[in-house]
Chain A
Amino acid sequence: MAMAIRFTLLLLLFLSSAIVSFSLYEDQVGLMDWHQRYIGKVKHAVFHTQKTGRKRVIVSTEENVVASLDLRHGEIFWRHVLGTNDAIDGVDIALGKYVITLSSEGSALRAWNLPDGQMVWETSLHGAQHSKSLLSVPTNLKVDKAYPILVFGGGYLHAVSAIDGEVLWKKDFTAEGFEVQRVLQPPGSSIIYVLGFVNSSEAVVYQIDSKSGEVVAQKNMAFPAGFSGEISSVSSDKVVVLDSTRSILVTIGFLDGDISFQKTSISDLVEDSGKAEILSPLLSNMLAVKVNKRTIFVRVGGEGKLEVVDSLSDETAMSDSLPVADDQVAFASVHHEGSKIHLMVKLVDDLDTVLLRESIQMDQHRGRVHKVFINNYIRTDRSNGFRALIVMEDHSLLLLQQGAIVWSREEGLASVTDVTTAELPVEKDGVSVAKVEHTLFDWLKGHMLKLKGTLLLASPEDVAAIQEMRMKSSGRNKLTRDHNGFRKLFIALTRAGKLFALHTGDGRIVWSMLLNSPSKSETCERPSGISLYQWQVPHHHAMDENPSVLVVGRCGSDSSAPGVLSFVDVYTGKEISSSDMGHSVVQVMPLPFTDSTEQRLHLIADTNGHVHLYPKTSEALSIFQHEFQNVYWYTVEADEGIIRGHAMKSSCSSETADEYCFTTRELWTVVFPSESEKVISTLTRKPNEVVHTQAKVNTDQDLLYKYVSRNLLFVATVSPKGAGEIGSATPEESTLVVYLIDTITGRILHRLSHQGCQGPVHAVFSENWVVYHYFNLRAHKYEVTVVEIYDQSRAENKNVWKLVLGKHNLTAPISSYSRPEVFTKSQSYFFAQSVKTIAVTSTAKGITSKQLLIGTIGDQILALDKRFVDPRRTLNPSQAEKEEGIIPLTDSLPIIPQSYITHSLKVEGLRGIVTAPAKLESTTHVFAYGVDLFYTRLAPSKTYDSLTDDFSYALLLITIVALVAAIYITWVLSEKKELSEKWR
């Protein structure tokens, strides 16, 4: 027993000495990392301003976030990120204290406490079928002390108590195929009216007793022409729908349970009518219809008579109507005019009465206004004031009040799709670094403080002062390049098609730019960005050119839509040029060639199997022609289960006059049998990765040569039955197979099958190894497997004499057509967490050891040394192996709490991790994005090549001075003594 304890102690000691701790001290948080919290594009907003307390607005977003925002400053009081499959359908406030959210197609109903966001109750409502869902929170309905919330979803109408979430009653509409459109509740009555359609051709009104859920009366009326589904309720007993041809407005009145239809053709209302569309704003006794790119307001008269009262240009956003004082109802509309936006609040009954008219200067790069939500308040002079929350095209959220932007939130950053890095400009002459330090006295004082800090003599105020000084003095927020390469820009492309440049120092937005379509045509007003590439990175020549990035966009959602290119200057954030490509974009391939201005050559493949060369210059063409024979590319058709390799064939000048267009030919195929394998993941190495050494020295002075090829493709396939969620297949049914394929020749270099394993596969590929994460159905655990691939053809080059005499093949060019002699080593480990994404650190020269950055299901990032996933780990490593750093083999990988690089923070909705090397070899930049953004600097092997920020130079100086003084004094003393001895 004692031995066991001693052994574990020893093991612990060994582990603690072996694992370099990457945790940081409390006062180091925020020094080189930053964290930004976002919520995403707002879908619904509910204001809560009645009480005298904090004014807040409850929002739900497209990123499935429900949040409470401070109306004064725009800060997040609280927020909850629901799962990716838990889309929010509706949000409202019940009882004045609960926020009710309905999500997952009406199957999850939750109540959150309004002040602090704690979940009060949660009810899951099981629906039988997919249908649109509807949340209705009646304001003055009370049933036996319970305040019911009416929820329709999955074919059922539920009444749920707002107090505890208990289901009061439910009504099954699945048999009839009844789809509830509106739930109306006349004030002062316990009967609720439920209006819906059956098969889009029959209107049904149920009168339901709100106490018991029993149907009191039912009326239905067929409408043979059919409804289109869009509905607008204009008053408590009338709704307006469009028929299926979208040319006739049908007013449905259901007063006292009687249904009446009244048809009005749109052509009667406006002259040249086309297909109409009912807009979403709810206006009382009025509806907004979009016809022929104009918005018309149609008033619904008492007998269902329709008349057009106003017509506006198309680019007008409107809010729902809002009751203001004296039974009046107002709504807001926002439209653009030049660089300004105009906000108008009008009365619904009298469109000529404008309660508020404001015009606000608006940044052009925010695009159009998408949504408006208004809220009223009482001004100090007792008149009505309005504030408007607007959602812009770039997903940003702004609060307008008194003709000014009170606050704005860049919510576009919650949906980052692609990230690249860029350097900052070089510091110009004349700007001295010394200006950062104010005077010598300040400098000394600062260092004295630091000294106090190191000697643990500092008081809390001193600590705060040190902290502040560190933040300032490091000069990390400057917009110039620094010696260590710590200051950089992260260029992020968002789903809204906006580019943001974020400074690594503090995460601020240096510039932002909304992509424009070059043609400004109506079909493609705003292209959606697909991906981002470094276009021009001047470092050897063309130094006076600014670096630029290439944004590849697309007009439309399907892959055959024409593509758009945009070149953006990184320093200024201005678009240098943009062009319509005239062909579709399937794949963008950066080539390893640059022209004389260091513009990188790119090949873009279209749907016709042609590739196009960019930039379209004769110089680029001549460079490309020179390497024409050696350009290969591959495509993965995951649905078909085919991977194809292609080579260049000829210029496609025979078909088109475009000399930058080339035809290709198929060289090889890998065909996965559709009955047994389905491609779920493919991955290649990062093209700009640097490998420092090609050889690995073993403990027994043996050499292993890494098979470092840029043309390796990692493919993971799984049995079709196992392609579903974890647990949907039995271990016998599901097999995971991984491949390493050479993309030039289509050779399968390595193939490994994992019986009884299932995806999803998350993998990372670096140097000569792949690490992938999957689920083991037999062990009911997640597993991580590492595969390292080594080159045997160069294994004979171990002899020193051969190297000296030049009889080695190390410098010979490697051809993919030679038969590769490779061997692989692999090992599997259990891993306790499920994973969202995996990345690996990358450094400037590739000398520093690597860490895996694992984005866990808890939205945190774990840094795991590559040494833990070494296939050469053995149970009992010999002394020599221990010296090399081989850790004893364990069953599972350790999760050390200190190695979470996000420390206590969470990167909500984590989607990706990007690493970029700093100039300092030991350090790497890590940027993680999801709903939140997180950045930090990592040193996987500690900062062995620089002194830390808090290194006390004063202490060093004082020591040196003291030593010099001591030397001088002792010298004087010894001189004196010598003299006196001589005189003796």
Chain B
Amino acid sequence: MAKLALFFFLSSLIFSSSLSFQSDELLVDDDEFGLEGAKPQSTELYTSSSPSSSSPQHQQTPTIRKRYSDPDLDSKVQFTLEHAFGDSDFSIAGTFSARLKTWSHGGKTLTKLRFSRNGFSAEEKDTFKNLLKGDDFYRIRVPSNVISPPGKKFVVASVRARCLPRDGLDEHFVIHMEGANILAVSYGSLGACQYPRQFKLPAKWSFNSHTILKSSEQAPRTPIFTEEILGSENAEGEVEPPPEKSFWAKYWMYLIPLGLVVMNAVTQATNMADEQTGGLAGGTQVQQAARRR
């Protein structure tokens, strides 16, 4: 009975979680979804938007949900993704929204990045097909400063259009951040893009987007001091006795000459015996021969 109850409980949990996954949660006020405890350095934030959504409804939210303690320091920012087909002009293709977190030391980092991708319009589909035919570049750009776009310049990235289509259109953004500035965007499909690239139309004209935020890592350094090693060695005090050598290892220099002498003596002895027997045999042969005569 208890087992049954547990089963029900678990299944309800699964059910509810799957329910929450499909819920039409409107994530307008996302103050409560802070990534607390995330370090300013080496934050990697992973979001992925489910296919074909022009509104941010179907987004997976990060797993950690904690009430953020100091919401005054946060502000929401939005910046647009623009795309261009080949050499065409850039046009709006989607919106990134994120929370700008201000740290006590004055640094600013982006957390909780969301992305909503606009689907291709019919006209854009045709242009994209042309790109696929010509194996041309599909280019995107984002502003280099997210607080006051477009900042200094736009950060541009591009990919051969033929790399994108899988089942749908696979895209993968790695956004390298420095504070509130975007340094670079690595853009491409998730998997490999084998050369020579084959012409292939996507089955579904919808984007499957994945986004990663990256900031720089600290250089590792193993702090070591030779003196300490020596010191610790000293402190141990107990010296491990050198491993006992084998008998052969100890006395090989005596054993080899001895062996040689012995072998020499043995061969001499056998030679002597041989000579004697040989001499005897010869004698008998002679005798036999003599007898034959």
Tell me if A668 counts as interface (CB < 8 A to partner B).
yes
B172–A671 CB distance below 8 A: no
Most buried by A among B193, B219, B226, B230: B219
A752 touches B233 (CB 8 A): no
Given contacts A1-B234, A748-B176, contact A817 B163 (CB under 8 A): yes
Question: Contact at A815–B192, with CB atoms within 8 Å?
Answer: yes
Give residues of chain B (168-205) contacting chain A, Cβ–Cβ below 8 Å: 172, 174, 176, 178-179, 181-197
| Binary per-residue interface labels of chain A (1-27) against chain B in the complex, 1 for a CB within 8 Å, 0 otherwise | 101100110000000000000000000
**Please, which residues of chain A bring their CB within 8 A of the CB of B195?**
813-815, 817
Q: A642-B153, A746-B186 are known contacts. Are A676 and B194 too (CB-CB below 8 A)?
A: no
A669 touches B233 (CB 8 A): no
| B34 shortest CB reach to chain A, Å | 25
Write the nearest CB–CB distance from A19 to chain B, whole angstroms: 17
- A438 interface hit (Cβ, 8 Å): no
Question: Shortest CB–CB separation between residue A459 and chain B, in angstroms?
Answer: 40
Interface centre among B137, B214, B221 (most CB of A within 10 A): B221
Interface residues of B (CB under 8 A from A): 41, 87, 135, 137, 139, 144-145, 151-160, 163, 172, 174, 176, 178-179, 181-197, 214, 216-222, 224-226, 229-230, 233-234, 239
Q: Which listed residue (A666, A673, A785) contacts B145, Cβ 8 A?
A: A673
A residues touching B (Cβ–Cβ < 8 Å)? 1, 3-4, 7-8, 629, 641-642, 647, 649, 665-674, 676-677, 737, 741, 745-748, 751-755, 785, 793, 812-815, 817-819, 826-828, 875, 889-891
Which residue of chain B lies nearest to A825 when distances are taken between CB atoms in the complex?
A: B220
A819 to B192, CA, bound (A): 6
In the A-B complex, the 10 residue pairs with the closest CB atoms: A673-B181, A747-B186, A818-B192, A817-B193, A753-B216, A671-B144, A670-B184, A815-B195, A667-B158, A669-B156
Which residue of B152, B218, B222 is within 8 Å of A671 (Cβ)? B152
B224 touches A753 (CB 8 A): no
Residue on A nearest B141 in the bound complex, by CB: A669
Contact A818 B233 (CB under 8 A): no
Q: Is the interface of A mostly helix, strand, loop or mixed?
A: mixed
Do A828 and B219 have beta carbons less than 8 Å apart?
yes
Residues of B within 8 A of A673 (CB): 144-145, 152, 178-179, 181, 183
Contact A4 B230 (CB under 8 A): yes
Query: Is there an interface contact between A745 and B176, defined as CB atoms closer than 8 Å?
Result: no
Contacts of B157 in A (CB 8 A): 667-668, 745-746
CB-CB < 8 A to A3: which residues of B? 233-234, 239
A670 to chain B: which residues have CB within 8 Å? 155, 183-184
A759 CB, min distance to chain B CBs, angstroms: 15
Chosen A-B contacts, 7 in total, with CB atoms closer than 8 Å, are A677-B178, A741-B184, A754-B218, A814-B195, A826-B220, A890-B224, A891-B226
| Residue in A closest to B153 when the chains form the complex, CB atoms | A671
B197 proximity list for chain A (CB < 8 A): 815, 817
Q: How far is the CA of A225 from the CA of B208 in the complex (A)?
A: 75
Q: Nearest-CB distance from B176 to chain A (Å)?
A: 5
Task: Give A753's nearest chain B residue, CB to CB.
Answer: B216
Contact A4 B193 (CB under 8 A): no
Give CA–CA (A641, B230) in the complex, Å: 47
Complex Cα distance, B293 from A110, in Å, reads 121
The answer to whether B194 touches A815 (Cβ under 8 A) is: yes
Residues on A with C-beta less than 8 A from B174 are 747-748
List 18 other contacts, CB 8 Å, given A745-B186, A827-B221: A4-B230, A629-B135, A671-B144, A671-B182, A676-B179, A745-B158, A745-B188, A748-B176, A751-B217, A813-B196, A815-B192, A817-B160, A817-B163, A817-B189, A817-B195, A819-B188, A826-B219, A891-B225
Q: Which residues from B are CB-within-8-Å of A793?
A: 192
Q: State in angstroms the CA–CA spacing of A785 and B187 once bound together.
A: 29
Q: Which residues of A contact B194 (CB under 8 A)?
A: 812-813, 815, 818
Contact across chains for B226 and A890 when beta carbons are under 8 A apart: yes
Are A7 and B216 neighbours in the complex by a CB distance under 8 Å? no
Distance, CA A743 to CA B186, complexed state (A):
12
Chain B contacts of A671 at CB under 8 A?
144, 151-155, 181-184
Chain B residues positioned under 8 Å from A672 (CB to CB)? 178, 183
- Whether the Cβ atoms of A818 and B191 lie closer than 8 Å is yes
Q: Which residues of B contact A754 (CB under 8 A)?
A: 218-219
Asked whether, in the complex, the Cβ of A752 is within 8 Å of the Cβ of B219, the reply is yes
Q: How far is the CA of A7 from the CA of B158 in the complex (A)?
A: 58
A480 to B230, CA, bound (A): 57
Q: A875, B222: Cβ atoms under 8 Å? A: yes
Report Cα–Cα, A755/B179, bound state, in Å: 15
In the complex, chain B residues whose CB is within 8 Å of the CB of A674: 152
Assess the B222–A752 pair: CB atoms within 8 A: no
What B residues does A629 contact at CB under 8 A? 135
Once the chains bind, are A819 and B191 in contact (CB under 8 Å)?
Answer: yes
Assess the B183–A752 pair: CB atoms within 8 A. no
Residue pair A889, B221 in contact (C-beta under 8 Å): no
Residues of A within 8 A of B193 (CB): 815, 817-818
Q: Shortest beta-carbon distance, A794 to chain B, in Å? A: 11
**Which residues does chain B contribute within 8 Å of A817, judged by CB atoms?**
159-160, 163, 188-189, 193, 195, 197
User: What are the residues of chain A within 8 A of B158 when measuring CB–CB?
Assistant: 667-668, 745
A737 to B216, CA, bound (A): 8
A666 touches B156 (CB 8 A): yes
The answer to whether A665 touches B152 (Cβ under 8 A) is: no
B179 to chain A, nearest CB (A): 7
* Closest B residue, CB atoms, query A821: B192
Q: Are B233 and A7 in contact (CB under 8 A)?
A: yes
Bound Cα distance from A415 to B117, whole angstroms: 57
- Most B-side CB within 10 Å, residue of A669, A676, A827: A669
Q: Which residues on A sit within 8 Å (CB–CB) of B181?
A: 671, 673, 676
In contact, B218 and A755 (Cβ under 8 angstroms): yes
Q: Are the C-beta atoms of A819 and B222 separated by less than 8 Å?
A: no
How far apart are A474's CB and chain B's nearest CB, in angstroms?
44
Cα A672 to Cα B151 in complex, Å, equals: 11
Smallest Cβ-Cβ distance to A2: which chain B residue: B239
Complex Cα spacing A642 to B156, Å: 11
Measured in the bound complex, the distance between the Cα atoms of B188 and A747 in whole Å is 10
Q: With CB as the reference atom, state the residue of chain B lying closest to A742.
A: B186
Shortest B156–chain A CB gap in Å is 5
Q: Which residues of A contact B179 (CB under 8 A)?
A: 673, 676
In the complex, what's the smallest C-beta–C-beta distance from B239 to chain A, in angstroms? 6
A233 to B219, CA, bound (A): 62
B135 CB to closest chain A CB (Å) equals: 7
Kindly state the separation between the CA atoms of A8 and B233 in the bound complex, as whole angstroms.
11
Per a CB cutoff under 8 Å, which of B155, B182, B189, B216 touches A751? Answer: B216
Contact of B176 with A7 in the complex, beta carbons under 8 Å:
no
A666 to B158, CA, bound (A): 9
Contacts of B153 in A (CB 8 A): 642, 669, 671
Contacts of B217 in A (CB 8 A): 751-753
Task: Give Cα A20 to B153, complex, Å.
Answer: 52
B183/A753 in contact, CB under 8 A: no
Q: Of B144, B186, B222, which contacts A827 at CB under 8 A?
A: B222
Interface contact B183-A748, CB-CB below 8 Å: yes
Given the known interface contacts A7-B230, A817-B188, A891-B226, the answer about A647 and B159 at a Cβ–Cβ threshold of 8 Å is no
By the criterion CB–CB under 8 Å, are B152 and A753 in contact? no
Interface centre among B145, B178, B214 (most CB of A within 10 A): B178
